Amino acid sequence: MLIKKHEITIRPMEDEMYDYELLAKWLTDQKVLEFYEGRDNLFAVERIIETYKPSIQRDEGVIPCIFYYQDTAIGYLQYFALNDLSETDRQLYCLDRTENVYGIDLFIGETDYWNRGIGTKILSVVINYLFEEVQAKKIVIDPHVDNLRAIRCYEKCGFVKVKLLPAHELHEGKYSDCWLMAIAAKKSLHLS
């Protein structure tokens, strides 16, 4: 997968030190970690390699990507099919069926690019790709309830809150509530 649309480029993460060092830079930044992984959960390069290499080699079904804005690497995203969810997880995520349902995670690691509408542009490109090229029927995401900036971005792109997921994710030593948000396939989103 390689997506180029306007000022956005998204490419698969590669088994190269450059990509691992980018993630290590972002996942040791306290501002980023406040919202993604937790400030008590630093990722040194060795941990990045151990964690992300299996996905890069496509061993886990997760597709890790690096995204760029105006040719500058600014963040990470991953998407994954939810085909093999257990019955319990299908109920948790309010899914009768999981065929062609995808989950996504993303963050902008370069904090100078926060609050500029770039996340909305990137997410719109990813949504279009998953619906048009991958033939997704639904996409889900589960932000922490207190990550208001991310939730606003997701809502701008058409995601709606489906269900509160109490104590869903361990974050900074405690289990945090998350919103299950979803968007169903319909028409494509367009960048403004």
Q: For 158-191, what is each residue's pLDDT tens digit?
A: 999 999 999 988 888 889 999 999 999 975 444 4
Domain positions in the chain are 3-184
The token pair that represents 170 in the structure block: 């361990």
The interaxial angle of helices 118-132 and 148-156, nearest 10 deg, is 50
Q: What is the pTM of this model?
A: 0.87
Q: What is the pLDDT of residues 84-124, one digit of tens each?
A: 766 776 666 667 666 788 999 999 999 999 999 999 999 99
CATH superfamily to which 3-184 belongs: Gcn5-related N-acetyltransferase (GNAT) (3.40.630.30)
Residues in the chain, total: 192
Name which of 153, 159, 157 is nearest 180 in CA terms: 159
Report the distance separating Cα 8 and Cα 24, nearest Å: 22
Alpha carbons within 13 angstroms on the beta-carbon side of residue 112 total 4
